[in-house]
Amino acid sequence: MDINKLTHSLASEIGFDKCSILECKKLDLQASKLESWIAHGYGADMEFLKRNQDKRHDPRLLVHDAQTIIVSMVSYNSPQTESNIARYARFPDYHYTIRDMLFRLKTELQHHLEIKSARAFCDSAPVMERSWAAKGGLGWIGKNAMLINQTLGSFTLIGSLIIDARIEPDEITSLHPDRCGNCNRCISACPTAAIMPDRTINANRCLAYHTIENRGEIPEEIAHKIGHTAFGCDICQNVCPWNNRAKICTNKNFLPQEPLLHIDLGDLTTMTDEQFAHRYRQSSLLRTGRNLLMRNLKKQNE
C-alpha cells in the first residue's frame, strides 16, 4: 500500500484542502532568519517567540524519534464583508478544530502504520508552520509575510502532525514559484507601514499585534490608524489579488458565525467578565479578553 497517497487521501476526506509530507529535520535557514528578526526587536514584547528556539530549529525535539511531518492546510476564505473582527476569528477557535482534524488523521493512519509517538500542532507551539508549508510546495511567502497558495490565496490555516513513523516524503523538486511579481498592494495598503522589504512584519507597527497581543497602551501613532478594527487586521490580505480569485471556503467549521461577525463597545461595557467568557468561550477573542477589546474599540472614537 502506498502510504503517501493514502495520507493525502485521508487528509482530503477529513477536510484539509492541501497536504504535504516531509522528512522531519532542521530548518536552519528559516530559523536563523527568525532569530535575526527577534534580535532586531521586530517581535515587540512577544516573549514567547524567544523561548524554545532549539525546537523551532528542529521539530524532532518535540516528538521522540520523529521522522515525518505532515503539513496540512485549510481555507477560511469567505466573501469580504464589513466587520471589525479579523476573518480567522469569525468562527470557533481554529486551534482546536485543526488539532482535532490532525488527531483524526493520526488515528486513521494508525490502522496502517505503527505510530508510538505523535503530536499535532496549530499555531500554538514552536513549529514554523509557514516555513514547512513553503518547503512542502504549498505556496510561497508573500511580501506581506503570509503564505500564499495559487488556488487558496492566503486566508488559510496551517497545522502539522509530527509522527515517529516514516512515510515516503512528497517528491518536491523545487519551491513554489514566487508569484508576487511587481505587485506592492499589501505594502501600499498597510496603514502603519508595518511590512518590511524582506517579507517580514515589524510587530511594533502592526495593527494585528496591537489589537490582539499588546497588553499595554497602544502608541498614539498607531492608535490613530486603528480605523474600524477591534480584533486583528486583514488589510494586507484583502488587497492581495490572489485572494480576489481564491476558492471560497465551503467547510462550515471555518465560515463566519454569530456572535462573531461584529463586536460592539456597548455590549462589552454592559456585560460582566463571566458573561464575556461564556459568550466567547469557543472563540479566539477569549484570549485577548474583554478589557483589551474595549480599549481597542474606544480608540476608534478618539
Count how many Cα atoms sit within 13 Å of the Cα of residue 19 in the half-sphere of its side chain. 23
Tell me the average confidence (pLDDT) per consecutive run of 10 residues in the chain, 302 residues long. 95 98 89 89 92 90 96 95 95 96 98 96 91 95 97 98 97 88 98 97 98 96 94 97 96 93 95 95 94 94 69
For residues 180 and 177, give the distance between their C-alpha atoms in angstroms, rounded to a whole number: 9
Among 89, 230, 66, which residue's Cα sits nearest to residue 163? 66
Report cis status (omega within 30 of 0) of the bond before 259.
Answer: yes
Per DSSP, the chain holds a count of helices (H) and strands (E) of 14, 6
**At residue 20, what is the residue type?**
S
For residues 187 and 197, give the distance between their C-alpha atoms in angstroms, rounded to a whole number: 9
For residues 188 and 7, give the distance between their C-alpha atoms in angstroms, rounded to a whole number: 41
Q: State residue 174's pLDDT score.
A: 76
**CA torsion angle for 246, 127, 89, 75 (degrees, to 10)?**
20
Asked about 123 being catalytic, the answer comes back as: yes
Beta strand 68-75 with 156-163 is: antiparallel
Three-point CA angle 37, 67, 142, nearest 5°: 35
Helix (H, G, I), strand (E, B) or coil at 13: helix
Count how many Cα atoms sit within 13 Å of the Cα of residue 187 in the half-sphere of its side chain. 12
Per-residue cell: 135? 518547503
- Alpha helices (H) along the chain: 3-14, 28-39, 53-57, 94-109, 129-135, 185-189, 207-212, 220-223, 235-238, 241-244, 265-270, 273-279, 285-288, 290-299
Distances (CA, A) of 20 to 73, 92, 149: 9, 25, 13
> Can you tell me which residue has the cell 511594533?
204
Count how many Cα atoms sit within 13 Å of the Cα of residue 6 in the half-sphere of its side chain. 13
The single residue of 45, 58, 100, 123 carrying the catalytic annotation is 123
Contact 96, 276 (CB under 8 A): no
Q: State residue 32's pLDDT score.
A: 82
Helix (H, G, I), strand (E, B) or coil at 203: helix
Q: State residue 175's pLDDT score.
A: 82
For residues 65 and 32, give the distance between their C-alpha atoms in angstroms, rounded to a whole number: 24
What is the 8-class DSSP label of residue 153? B
Distance separating the N- and C-terminal Cα atoms of the chain: 63
